[in-house]
Structures are given as structure tokens and as C-alpha cells.
């Protein structure tokens, strides 16, 4: 992977200038030295902290406040300001200070690719969904993912990203599940942390979001998430902490919702006590767009920057300072953090230069990540991979698979080249919450891979026609989708548009039926026992069709494993349904709510605490449809020879490829608390916690002894009274294997 130089351009110029002293009679060197003397903060050899402090001393109060709010959002009539045209067509703009060399922040949404590129006459690669990338369990893939988005942001002229979603999939019906990285704090934190670390390394301001407990879209602007501090610390906050410790992001975005009564963007516990206090976060906190609700309370709680306007952190903030209600020291802390972020990320020394996006590189990276992300869920009688000698005809049915694959909506939406593939040319412009298909045709990709196989398509809208084609074919592949978007939640986890019935009828007509799922979350499968194979492709990105075809024909052995539990029914979840808001607040789920809005009595109670996903299923003794960490391969693996080093907190074991194909196994290690160590929450002993994992590539018959380090953070419990973490003495159960519900190796780790 090509990496950007981390040496600032200004420093390279400085060195070059010094090198010309002999040939220029010292004039250039003298000019450079004088420039550094005039602007000592431009010396890249100083720390970001020192550089920020030097700039802070030069700023007037008005200049400081200008750094603490946005100036509007392009393409949104409600969020327009005089400087909005400077947003570069992006999500927001913060005016810099040109006289001091501090650049403006030019901001873009970029959850799985740069948003609004098509609307601005540009191109952006769509990566697989974040949930898909998490299902690769691959930190290197996550790094490639982030680095590509960072480079395309710079090529389009942006220097700040709004990607990096790390909220846990506590509520799998959440419309933004596809933007997040699954249900486990260690996995989600590791994937998002590495993604944002490598994205920010491209010299863009990294921004991890939505902090915190933004686990549903219904009533998101006012819903009150009620959860114990312990439950929060051991779940969503732990995921954020792990991600932030890896990425060292320049910014963290606070979320729309309330947490235990206070809006997240004015929640002193979240911002002041935990993020900046316990974790020592040095960057700045920016609000979600329209998520600021006050001036003095938000400022005191730790909000540093209002987005995308200046309703509370513009004239009102200046007035509060002049009246003595907000101390200048508080303003200085906000400003120092913004300046620190700009120096830390490299946007001062290496500003973006607009250029042409490397389209082919984007295709290659998106294909590699998707190949690692696809999960094989069922493969009865080895119906996959497709063997041309045994399969002479294939029926491709449903899902618009003749022209493309679906993508996720909302602010994460990436514009497909040429517009929505299911609409006529020129009619496919992207709009908010449109169902958008990329021009990534599985039909064409499979025909290219299997040129001597008869492959026909039926849209599936006429079930009799689909059944007729399936019955006359050696193999039937049904493409099914579940669309998700910001601003709405799923009513349930069923496939929409009568697709379950279509799959049932096709499977009845052809026992060799495979279902390819293009989903943003878990789905229920009432037809599971009747089909031969199930492949989870997620939202597959700009090269999803090629990656999927490679897996279906066996050129790539699937290695992905679920980052989210698939339940048999919504009734098995902690919350079978998302309750609707009270009547007077309905319809405000996506609209900004200001401080004059009626008080909300809409709350969700997360009494399950840290029991998110597989932990809930284990603690409640419920069997899921597919467990967290599950995924099949075209080969088989065996585990043996477990040993544990308690002092080093490492686990060693051997994995052997016992099949006939080369493949990659994701080996998972889980831990349970010592018996009797948790008198307050004895039921927590009812689940195992993911404590480490490793990807191992093995040729047939080969084995490898792997060492997995146990992350001590997942072994600890949070003491609310002392506001501290405890690692209890005793024997921790250690288990290793291929998934959360199949752990053939066991032992104990001793903590004394």
C-alpha cells in the first residue's frame, strides 16, 4: 500500500531552502529563518501542543470564536450563511485565520466514501459498508479503507472527514447499522480505530462519531437513552475508547440524542468527565449537524465547535463572554483544541491540492476489502463454489442483479457514476433517502467468470416467471436486499418487498438455490432450511460485483465472519420493537430541535447494559440464527494445543487447514470473569467477552501456531462508585475457536 509522506511540505521547503545557501548567498535561508521567527508556530519540529499555544496568543476574541462554529452546509436550504459557498459542495466550512497561516476546515461526509461527488461533478469510490469491513476482522483492510477515503477527500479539496462511526449495534433495526462496525467493543474499536488512523495519516482531520449511545434513528434529536454508567462504559464507551486510543483522532463528533437526561453535545459526563478527563482526549468535540442546543451549558460541558451554523457558538457565545457568563479560559481551551487538531493532522503543513481521483486504485481497494468482508453463512452439500463442469445453467433472480447492487442512504450515500443504475440514463440523480443501486452488475460479472455457462436473469416481480426459470436451471441464485438509511429505522428485520415469499417459491422449484444478501444489518430468514446456500455480501461498494463473483466461483475463498448476531426473530432481542415517540414529537426525527422545543418524555431504557449482541444471547440462553463471529469457508480448520501465559496475558494455540483449498481463518479468543468476582452483576458471568483475534492464511494441510494477546480492557469491570476500572483477581476462563458459539479450546488465565 502506498503511504503518504508524513514529512510536512513546509519542512521540506525549509530544508531545500537551507540547502541552497551556498548558491544563493544565504538570502533564501535568511528569508526562511525570518519567516519562522515571525511565525514560530509554522516550525514543524515543534509539537502540535506548542504550536497551538503559540497561535492562541495571537488571536483576538472574534478570531477565536470564528474557529468555534460552522458557516453552513451546501445543498441544504435551512443551513445557509454568507460563507457557505466556500464549503466546496461539502458538509460544512470553518473559517481559518489567513494572516496566521491557519487554514479553513473544508468538511465532507465520508462514512464509506466521499458524499455528494456526483452532485459536484466529481467521482468517489464507494467502499463496502462499515459493517462489511468489520466482518473482515482485518485491521490492514481497515487501514486501506481509510487511506483510500483520505486520499480521495484531499483530491477533491477537503481536509476534514466525517466518517468513523463506532456506535455499537445495540439495536440492529437502527437505520445506520451499516455505517457502524458491529456489536462488540473490541472488534468495532479496532476496525474503526485503524480505519481512522490511516485516513488521518493522509493529512485530513479525522472525526470519530457519534458520541455516544446513538443507537437508533427514531426520534434521534430528542430520544433519551437511559443506561447505567457501568453498562455504558463496558459497551459503547469502551468501543469509542479503543478506537480513539488507536487512531488518536483530531476530532470527536457528539451525537443528537440525550443520554441520561442531557443532550450528548452538552453532556458533562460524556464530554468533560470521560472523553477529556478519563481518556485525556486532546482534540476538539464538534456537534452533529444541528445537534447544539445551548451556549453556556454546552460550552461548560466540553463542546468545542458548533456545526454547521453559529446559532449558539457565534454571537451568543461572544455575548456570554462579554457578560462574564463564559470565562475566557473556556474559550481558549476550545480554540486550543481546534488548533491542536489542525497541527496534529497535518492540514497546516500539507494542505490538500485538488487533483484527479485514482479511479482504478479505488476499484482495486474496494474489491480487496469486499472479498475479505463477504460471509458464507450456509453451504449445503458444497453447492458453492460454482463448478462449471457440473453447472451448465444458472438462473439469476431479483435484486436488480442485472444492472447493479444496492447501497446505504443518508449522509453516508456515495453517488454512483452515471446515477442510480435502476433508472434510465440521465434520470438517476441521487436524492436524500433514495434507494440507490451502483452500476455493479452481478449478472455481468458472473457471465465474465463463466463464459461457457448459460446465465439468464429474471427480475422476480412475476413469481411464476421466476419459478419457471429456476426450475429449468442447474442452479438458482436469488439476490435479496434490505435498504437502510440515516433518518429512519427498520420496522423489523424481515426482507422487504415480498422477497421472503420469492425465495420460498424459488427454493421449492430448485433445491440448489443460493441466496445472496445485500443488507445493512441482520435479517431474519424464514426460508433458511429450504435453500442450499446463503452469502452475506453487505453493501458491497464500487467493485462488489467482481468481489462477489470471485467468491461464488471459488477464485477467492470466503473468510469474513459476522460482526453482528443474526437473531431468529426480533422477539429474541432485548427490544423487540422500537417504541414510537409521543404524538407531539412525531415527525421530528431528522429535524433540528432547538432549546425552545417542548421537553421530551421519549426515552429508551437500555437495561441490558453491557449485554449487547452475542452477550445478550449467551446471558439469556437464547440460540441465534447465526452467532457473532460465524462464517464458513471452502476449506476446514482444526484447533489444538492451547497454552496460556498468565503473566504476559497471551494465548497460544495451533490452527490447521484440514481441507483441500487454501484459506484464511479468523481465530477468536473469548474470556469469562472469575466466578464470584462480580457480586453486583452476577448475571454478567453468563457471557464471554471477545478478548482477542487473529487472521491466519493457510495452505491445505498446513498449520500455524498463533499467539493472541488478551486485551486487558475487556477483562475489567467498571466501578460506578469509584469511577474506575477493576481487574478482579481470580481465574478467568479462556476459550478459543472459530466463532462465539463454537470454542473447542479452553483454559484459564490467572490474575493474582
Q: So what's the pLDDT on residue 33?
A: 67
Residue 179 C-alpha from the chain's centroid: 5
Looking up cell 453498562 gives 231
Reading across the β-sheet that carries 603-605, which strands appear in turn?
262-263, 258-259, 224-226, 603-605
Q: How confident is the model at residue 429 (pLDDT cuts 50, 70, 90)?
A: confident
The span from the CA of 585 to the CA of 599, in Å, is 9
pTM of the model: 0.94
| Helix, strand, coil percentages, rounded to 5, for the chain | 30, 20, 50
d(CA 247, CA 244): 5
| Range of lowest pLDDT (35-49, 60-74, 222-236, 732-746) | 35-49
Q: Give the mean model confidence (pLDDT) for residues 681-709.
A: 87
Better-predicted residue by pLDDT, 581 or 305: 305
Output the pLDDT for position 685: 52
Please say whether the beta carbons of 672 and 686 come within 8 A: no
Residue ranges covered by each domain of the chain: 1-38, 47-345, 635-751
pLDDT of residue 676: 66
Residues 685-694 have a mean pLDDT of 91
Average pLDDT over residues 227-244: 98
Percent of the chain surpassing pLDDT 70:
92
How does strand 224-226 pair with strand 258-259? parallel
| Residue 369 CB burial class (10 angstroms; 0-12, 13-18, ≥19) | buried
In the predicted structure, residue 6 carries a pLDDT above the cut 50? no
CA separation for the pair 259, 266 (Å, rounded): 10
The CATH number, out of the four listed (3.20.20.70, 1.10.3470.10, 2.60.120.10, 2.60.40.10), of the domain defined by the range 635-751: 2.60.40.10
Q: Quick: pLDDT tens for 489-541.
A: 999 999 999 999 999 999 999 999 999 999 999 999 999 999 999 999 999 99
Alpha carbon dihedral 534, 538, 542, 548, in 10-degree steps, equals: -20
Length of the chain: 752
Cβ-proximal residues to 629 (8 Å cutoff; 6+ apart), any chain: 561, 562, 614, 666, 668, 690, 738, 739, 740, 741
Question: Is 98 exposed, middle or buried, given 0-12, 13-18 or 19+ CB atoms closer than 10 A?
Answer: exposed
Give the burial string for 396-428 (b: 16+ CB within 10 Å, else e).
bbbbbbbbbbbbbbbbbbbbbeebbbbeeeeeb
Over 90: is that where the pLDDT of 5 sits?
Answer: no
d(CA 628, CA 739): 7
Among the residue ranges 217-231, 314-328, 574-588, the one predicted with the least confidence is: 574-588
3-state class of 289 per DSSP?
A: coil
User: Which CATH code for domain 47-345?
Assistant: 3.20.20.300
Q: Do residues 252 and 244 make contact, with C-beta atoms less than 8 angstroms apart?
A: yes
Alpha-carbon separation of residue 29 from 10, 44, 364 (angstroms): 13, 16, 44
Amino acid at each position: 500500500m502506498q503511504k503518504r509522506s508524513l514529512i510536512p511540505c513546509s519542512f521540506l521547503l525549509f530544508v531545500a531552502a537551507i540547502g541552497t545557501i551556498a548558491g544563493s548567498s544565504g538570502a533564501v535561508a535568511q528569508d526562511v529563518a525570518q519567516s519562522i521567527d515571525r511565525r514560530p508556530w509554522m516550525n514543524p519540529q515543534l509539537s502540535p501542543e506548542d504550536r497551538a499555544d503559540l497561535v492562541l496568543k495571537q488571536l483576538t476574541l472574534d478570531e477565536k470564536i470564528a474557529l468555534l462554529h460552522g458557516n453552513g452546509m451546501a445543498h441544504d436550504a435551512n443551513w445557509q450563511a454568507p460563507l457557505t459557498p466556500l464549503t466546496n459542495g461539502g458538509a460544512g466550512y470553518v473559517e481559518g485565520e489567513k494572516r496566521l497561516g491557519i487554514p479553513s476546515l473544508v468538511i465532507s461526509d465520508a462514512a464509506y466514501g466521499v458524499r455528494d461527488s456526483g452532485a459536484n461533478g466529481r467521482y468517489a469510490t464507494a467502499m463496502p459498508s462499515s459493517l462489511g469491513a468489520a466482518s473482515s476482522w482485518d485491521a490492514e483492510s481497515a487501514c486501506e479503507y481509510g487511506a483510500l477515503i483520505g486520499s480521495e477527500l484531499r483530491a477533491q479539496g477537503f481536509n476534514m472527514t466525517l466518517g468513523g462511526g463506532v456506535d455499537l449495534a445495540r439495536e440492529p433495526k437502527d437505520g445506520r447499522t451499516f455505517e457502524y462496525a458491529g456489536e462488540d467493543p473490541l472488534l468495532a474499536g479496532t476496525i474503526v480505530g485503524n480505519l481512522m488512523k490511516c485516513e488521518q495519516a493522509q493529512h485530513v482531520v479525522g472525526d470519530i462519531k457519534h458520541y455516544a449511545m446513538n443507537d437508533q434513528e427514531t426520534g434521534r434529536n430528542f430520544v433519551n437513552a437511559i443506561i447505567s454508567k457501568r453498562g455504558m462504559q463496558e459497551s459503547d464507551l469502551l468501543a469509542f475508547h479503543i478506537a480513539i486510543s488507536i487512531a488518536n483522532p483530531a476530532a470527536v463528533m457528539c451525537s443528537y440524542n440525550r443520554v441520561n437526561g442531557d443532550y450528548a453535545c452538552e453532556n458533562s459526563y460524556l464530554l468533560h468527565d470521560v472523553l477529556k478527563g478519563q481518556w485525556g482526549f486532546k482534540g476538539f468535540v464538534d456537534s452533529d449537524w444541528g445537534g447544539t442546543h445551548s451556549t453556556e451549558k454546552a460550552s461548560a460541558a466540553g463542546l468545542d465547535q458548533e456545526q454547521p451554523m453559529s446559532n449558539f457558538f457565534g454571537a451568543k457565545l461572544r455575548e456570554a463572554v462579554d457578560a462574564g457568563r463564559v470565562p475566557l479560559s473556556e474559550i481558549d481551551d476550545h480554540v486550543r483544541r481546534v488548533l491542536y487538531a489542525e497541527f496534529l493532522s497535518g492540514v497546516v503543513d500539507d494542505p490538500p491540492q485538488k487533483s484527479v481521483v485514482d479511479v482504478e486504485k479505488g476499484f482495486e481497494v474496494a474489491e480487496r476489502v469486499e472479498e475479505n468482508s463477504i460471509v458464507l453463512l450456509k453451504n449445503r452439500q458444497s453447492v458453492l463454489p460454482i463448478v462449471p463442469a457440473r453447472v451448465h445453467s444458472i438462473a439469476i433472480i431479483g435484486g436488480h442483479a442485472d444492472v447493479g447492487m444496492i447501497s446505504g442512504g443518508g449522509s453516508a450515500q456515495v453517488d454512483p457514476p452515471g446515477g442510480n443504475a435502476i433508472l434510465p440514463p440521465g434520470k438517476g440523480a441521487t436524492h436524500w433517502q433514495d434507494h440507490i443501486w451502483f452500476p455493479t452488475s452481478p449478472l455481468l460479472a458472473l457471465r465474465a467468470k463463466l463464459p461457457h455457462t448459460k446465465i439468464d436473469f429474471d427480475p422476480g416481480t412475476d413469481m411464476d416467471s421466476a419459478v419457471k426459470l429456476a426450475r429449468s436451471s442447474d442452479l438458482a441464485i436469488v439476490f435479496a436486499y434490505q435498504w437502510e438509511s440515516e433518518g429512519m429505522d427498520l420496522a423489523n428485520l424481515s426482507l422487504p418487498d415480498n422477497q421472503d415469499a420469492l425465495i420460498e417459491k424459488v427454493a421449492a422449484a430448485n433445491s440448489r438455490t443460493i441466496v445472496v444478501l445485500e443488507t445493512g444489518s441482520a435479517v431474519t430468514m424464514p426460508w433458511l432450511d429450504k435453500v442450499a446456500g446463503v452469502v452475506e455480501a453487505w453493501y458491497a461498494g464500487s467493485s462488489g460485483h467482481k468481489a462477489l463473483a470471485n467468491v461464488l466461483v471459488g477464485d477467492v475463498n470466503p473468510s469474513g465472519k459476522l460482526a453482528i448476531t443474526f437473531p431468529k426473530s426480533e422477539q429474541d432481542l432485548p427490544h423487540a420493537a422500537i417504541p414510537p415517540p409521543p404524538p407531539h414529537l412525531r415527525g421530528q426525527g431528522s429535524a433540528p430541535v432547538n432549546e425552545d422545543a417542548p421537553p421530551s418524555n421519549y426515552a429508551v431504557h437500555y437495561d441490558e447494559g453491557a449485554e449487547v449482541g452475542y452477550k445478550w444471547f449467551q446471558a439469556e440462553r437464547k440460540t441465534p440464527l447465526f452467532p457473532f463471529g460465524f462464517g464458513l469457508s471452502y476449506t476446514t480448520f482444526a484447533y489444538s494445543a492451547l497454552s496460556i501465559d498468565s503473566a504476559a496475558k497471551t494465548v497460544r494455540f495451533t490452527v490447521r487447514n484440514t481441507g483441500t483449498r487454501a484459506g484464511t481463518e479468523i481465530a477468536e479468543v473469548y474470556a469469562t470473569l472469575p466466578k464470584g468476582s462480580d457480586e453486583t452483576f452476577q448475571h454478567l458471568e453468563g457471557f464471554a467477552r471477545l478478548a482477542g483475534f487473529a487472521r491466519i492464511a493457510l495452505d491445505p494441510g498446513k498449520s500455524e501456531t498463533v499467539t493472541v494477546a488478551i486485551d486487558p480492557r475487556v477483562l475489567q469491570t467498571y466501578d460506578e462508585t469509584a469511577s474506575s476500572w477493576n481487574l478482579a483477581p481470580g481465574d478467568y476462563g479462556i476459550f478459543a475457536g472459530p466463532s462465539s458459539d463454537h470454542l473447542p479450546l479452553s483454559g484459564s488465565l490467572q490474575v493474582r
